[in-house]
């Protein structure tokens, strides 16, 4: 005659209380800590004002793309963006309005780039866009679309006739297999120098690296001709300003 099996008291998990106390609670605590750590990590990679990835996220993302360029021999492009005369906006309207402008410009940039691209808050009124596996001519198109969309955007639209017009200067650079060994700082510095050149040339413009333009001064009219040629190559009947935000 077999002995009856004594059932052990069970908790909600279906295990005995003693087993649950020993194993379930630590496991649940581990999952809770893992979730909290992930949440803290996510927060640490996002700019609290503009709600886009911050400089820390840019560092990791760009280094990963540089390594991909080394493996695939396909360039990575960088666009540095700086809002023109942002100090005047703060001085004229106050820092709260300046913060709103930053938030709106971040959204404009985000809506102007391709799904594969990523925008970051670099610091202050400066943003960076990383374009994985992108040639220079395609990066110029994206940069020009960003510039034009910022120029056309009405920031802080108080009413139909009262808003703030904002422009931006942009520098476009590429990381090639031959330059990828220089690393993160050199990649950012290259695009940043082109951004400063765009500022010196009159602002509200895009400056890029090219053997055709690197050694000589190029007027805005000449750059416009080059831009139109780049766009017409893929869209013969479409002006640059009509390029779709999802192009590319």
Buried b / exposed e across 29-58, counting CB within 10 Å, b at 16+? eeeeeeeeeeeeeeeebbbeebebbbeebb
Distance between CA atoms of 108 and 236, rounded to whole angstroms? 26
Structure tokens that stand for 28 in this block: 């649940």
CA torsion 68-69-71-73 (nearest 10°) is 150
Q: Is 239 a catalytic residue?
A: no
From the list 29, 51, 60, 125, the catalytic residue is: 125
Residue 170: half-sphere exposure toward Cβ, Cα within 13 Å: 28
Which two three-digit tokens encode residue 167?
């422009």
Distance of CA 93 to the CA centre of its chain: 27
Q: Which two tokens stand for residue 6?
A: 């004594």
Per DSSP, the three-state class of 120 is strand
Active site residues: 125
């Amino acid at each position: 005659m077999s002995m009856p099996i004594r059932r052990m008291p069970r908790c909600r998990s279906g295990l005995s209380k003693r087993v649950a106390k020993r194993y379930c609670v630590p496991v649940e605590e581990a999952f809770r800590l893992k979730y909290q750590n992930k949440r803290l990590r996510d927060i640490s990679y996002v700019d609290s004002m503009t709600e886009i990835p911050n400089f820390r996220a840019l560092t990791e993302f760009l280094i990963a793309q540089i390594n991909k360029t080394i493996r695939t021999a396909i360039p990575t492009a960088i666009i540095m963006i700086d809002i023109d005369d942002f100090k005047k906006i703060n001085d004229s309207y106050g820092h709260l309005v300046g913060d709103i402008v930053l938030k709106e410009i971040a959204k404009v940039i985000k809506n102007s780039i391709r799904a594969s691209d990523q925008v970051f808050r670099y610091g202050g009124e400066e943003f960076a866009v990383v374009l994985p596996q992108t040639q220079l001519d395609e990066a110029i198109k994206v940069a020009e679309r960003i510039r034009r969309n910022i120029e056309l955007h009405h920031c802080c639209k108080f009413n139909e006739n009262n808003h703030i017009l904002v422009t931006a200067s942009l520098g476009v650079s590429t990381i090639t297999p031959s330059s990828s060994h220089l690393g993160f700082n050199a990649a950012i510095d290259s695009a940043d120098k082109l951004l400063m050149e765009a500022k010196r040339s009159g602002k509200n413009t895009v400056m890029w690296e090219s053997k055709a333009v690197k050694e000589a001064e190029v007027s805005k009219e000449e750059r416009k001709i080059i831009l139109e040629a780049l766009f017409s190559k893929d869209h013969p009947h479409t002006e640059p300003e009509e390029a779709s935000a999802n192009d590319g």
